[in-house]
C-alpha cells in the first residue's frame, strides 16, 4: 500500500508524530510511505531531519496564515500535482492543522480516501477558537477511518455519531515520543527537580498546582520549573512569585526538549481534563517519573506504569502526590543510561511504533 502521512503545523508534537509514523510504515514489509510537512517545520531544520517527500509552503506568522488561507483556492493545481506524483492509496492526517482544507480538497478532487488520527474529540478550555479554526468536525465526517489514542476520546467520538456506517473507528494507544539522548544520573543530595511542560492553558490545572504548593508551604524539598507558552494570568504570576518555582512562559523549540527532560527527575501534570498526554509519552520514554491527575485518558495511558503516580484533580491530593514524587526521586536515583540501555530503549520504541503502524494498516484493509 502507498500511504501519505501529513501534518502541516510547523512546531510541537505534530511533525514529530507524523515523522515517526512515516518511518514505522516504511519499515513494514511491502509498504511505501511518503511524508508531507511544512517547509518551515522545526523538525526539518534539526540535525537528523527525516526525509520529507513533500514540503508544503505554509506560514510563520499570523499575517502569513491569513495570506495562505486566501491563496488556498488558487493552489489546487499544485496540491493535486504533488498527490499525482506520490500516488497514495490513502492519506493519513497525523494531527489536524490550520491549512488541512487545502489537502482535503485535493484528496476529494482525486478521489483519494483519507484517515485521521484524532488526538482530541472536543476543545479543551482555552482551545475553543483554534479548535473551531481547524474545521475538525468537517474533516472527521469526511474521513474513511478515524484512529484515536484513548478510550476517553473514542467514547466522545461515538457520542458525536462518528465511526458508524461505512466509517471505521479504531482505538489505538499513544506510542513513545523519545529522543536519542544520554540522561545524566540524579546527583545524591541534590533537591529533586520537577518539571511542568506544555502549553500553559486553563485546562492544564496550574491553578490547582499553585494551591497545592501553597499547602506545602515555602520550605518544599524540591525545585519546580514551569515551561511553556500561554497567556499571562494571575495564576502564572502567583506561581512565579513562589520560592523554588521558576516560570518560563515562552515557546520551547524541539531542540530544547531533550535538555528539559534531562534536567528533570519527574514531570508534574495536574490537568483538569485530558484526552491523553504527549508530554507524558515523552517523559516515560525518557525514563522520568510522572505525577498526573486521574482525568480523561490519563489513567488508561499511565495507570499500569510503575514510573507513574496518579492522584485526584484537587489541591490536597496533588500536594500529597508532589511529596510522594519527591520522596521517590530522593530514594531511587535515576540510573545513567548506558549506550546499551539507550540502544534497547530506542529498539523498543521502534517496535512500539511499528506495532502502531501495523495496527493502523490492518484496520484500513
Q: Mind listing the pLDDT tens digit for each residue in 126-178?
A: 665 455 556 788 899 999 999 999 999 999 999 999 999 999 999 999 988 76
194-212: per-residue pLDDT in tens?
Answer: 999 999 999 999 999 999 9
Could you tell me which of 203, 202, 204, 194 has the C-alpha nearest to residue 224? 194
Distance between CA atoms of 178 and 283, rounded to whole angstroms? 8
Half-sphere exposure of 104 (CA within 13 A, CB side): 20
Determine the CATH number of domain 193-331.
Answer: 3.40.50.2000
- Indicate where the chain has its CATH 3.40.50.2000 domain(s): 2-176+346-364, 193-331
Q: Over 90: is that where the pLDDT of 311 sits?
A: yes
The phi, psi pair for 303, rounded to 5°, reads: -60, -25
- Give the pLDDT confidence score for residue 183 in this predicted structure: 54
What CA dihedral angle connects 267, 268, 272 and 273, to 10 degrees? 10
**pLDDT band at residue 38, thresholds of 50, 70 and 90?**
very high
Could you tell me which of 54, 147, 62 has the C-alpha nearest to residue 102? 54
**pLDDT band at residue 331, thresholds of 50, 70 and 90?**
confident
Helices (H) and strands (E) in the chain, counts: 15, 13
127: region left, alpha or beta (phi > 0 left; psi from -120 to 50 alpha):
alpha
- Give the pLDDT confidence score for residue 284 in this predicted structure: 85
Task: Tell me yes or no: is domain 2-176+346-364 CATH 3.40.50.2000.
Answer: yes
Task: Provide the percentage of residues in the chain whose pLDDT is more than 90.
Answer: 66
- Give the pLDDT confidence score for residue 62 in this predicted structure: 84
- Give the pLDDT confidence score for residue 176 in this predicted structure: 82
Return the DSSP state at 335.
P
278-298: per-residue pLDDT in tens?
Answer: 899 888 888 889 999 999 999
135: region left, alpha or beta (phi > 0 left; psi from -120 to 50 alpha):
left
- Give the pLDDT confidence score for residue 29 in this predicted structure: 93
Q: Which three cell numbers stand for residue 2?
A: 502507498
With beta carbons less than 8 A apart as the criterion, state whether 346 and 180 touch. yes
Distance between CA atoms of 263 and 310, rounded to whole angstroms? 22
Q: Over 70: is that where the pLDDT of 341 sits?
A: no
The alpha carbon of residue 215 and the mean position of all alpha carbons in its chain are separated, in whole angstroms, by 31
- Give the pLDDT confidence score for residue 337 in this predicted structure: 41
Q: Over 50: is that where the pLDDT of 186 sits?
A: no
For residue 239, what are the contacts with CB-CB under 8 A and spacing of at least 6?
A: 206, 209, 210, 213, 226, 245, 247
Q: Locate cell 500516488: which residue?
A: 87
Return the number of other C-beta atoms located less than 10 Å from residue 101's C-beta. Answer: 15
Could you tell me which of 338, 335, 317, 331 has the C-alpha nearest to residue 192? 331
With beta carbons less than 8 A apart as the criterion, state whether 301 and 271 touch. no
What size, in residues, is the chain?
Answer: 365
Amino acid at each position: 500500500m502507498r500511504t501519505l502521512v501529513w501534518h502541516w503545523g510547523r512546531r510541537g508534537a505534530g511533525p514529530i508524530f507524523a515523522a515517526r509514523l512515516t518511518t514505522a510504515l516504511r519499515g513494514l514489509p511491502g509498504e511505501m510511505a511518503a511524508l508531507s510537512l511544512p517547509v518551515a517545520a522545526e523538525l526539518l531544520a534539526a540535525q537528523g531531519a527525516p526525509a520529507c517527500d513533500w514540503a508544503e509552503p505554509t506560514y510563520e506568522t499570523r499575517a502569513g496564515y491569513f495570506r495562505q488561507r486566501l491563496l488556498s483556492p488558487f493552489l489546487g493545481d499544485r496540491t493535486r500535482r504533488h498527490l499525482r506524483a506520490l500516488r497514495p492509496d490513502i492519506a493519513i492526517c497525523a494531527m489536524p492543522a490550520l491549512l488541512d482544507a487545502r489537502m482535503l480538497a485535493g484528496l476529494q478532487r482525486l478521489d483519494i480516501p483519507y484517515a485521521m488520527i484524532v488526538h482530541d474529540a472536543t476543545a479543551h478550555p482555552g482551545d475553543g477558537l483554534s479548535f473551531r479554526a481547524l474545521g475538525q468536525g468537517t474533516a472527521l465526517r469526511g474521513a474513511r477511518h478515524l484512529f484515536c489514542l484513548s478510550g476517553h476520546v473514542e467514547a466522545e467520538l461515538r457520542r458525536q455519531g462518528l465511526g458508524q456506517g461505512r466509517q471505521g473507528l479504531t482505538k489505538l494507544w499513544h506510542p513513545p515520543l523519545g529522543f536519542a539522548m544520554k540522561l545524566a544520573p540524579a546527583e545524591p543530595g541534590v533537591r529533586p527537580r520537577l518539571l511542568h511542560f506544555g502549553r500553559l492553558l486553563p485546562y492544564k490545572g496550574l491553578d490547582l498546582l499553585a494551591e497545592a504548593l501553597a499547602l506545602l508551604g515555602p520550605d518544599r524539598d524540591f525545585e519546580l520549573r514551569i515551561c511553556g507558552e500561554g497567556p499571562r494570568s494571575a495564576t502564572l504570576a502567583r506561581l512565579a512569585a513562589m520560592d523554588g518555582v521558576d516560570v518560563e512562559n515562552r515557546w520551547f523549540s524541539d531542540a530544547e526538549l531533550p535538555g528539559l527532560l534531562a534536567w528533570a527527575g519527574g514531570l508534574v501534570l495536574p490537568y483538569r481534563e485530558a484526552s491523553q498526554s504527549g508530554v507524558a509519552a515523552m517523559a516515560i520514554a525518557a525514563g522520568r517519573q510522572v505525577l498526573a491527575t486521574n482525568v480523561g485518558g490519563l489513567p488508561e495511558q499511565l495507570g499500569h506504569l510503575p514510573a507513574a503516580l496518579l492522584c485526584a484533580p484537587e489541591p490536597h491530593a496533588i500536594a500529597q502526590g508532589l511529596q510522594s514524587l519527591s520522596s521517590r526521586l530522593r530514594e531511587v536515583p535515576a540510573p545513567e543510561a548506558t549506550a546499551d540501555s539507550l540502544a534497547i530503549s530506542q529498539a523498543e520504541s521502534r517496535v512500539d511504533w511499528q506495532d502502531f503502524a501495523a495496527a493502523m494498516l490492518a484496520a484500513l484493509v
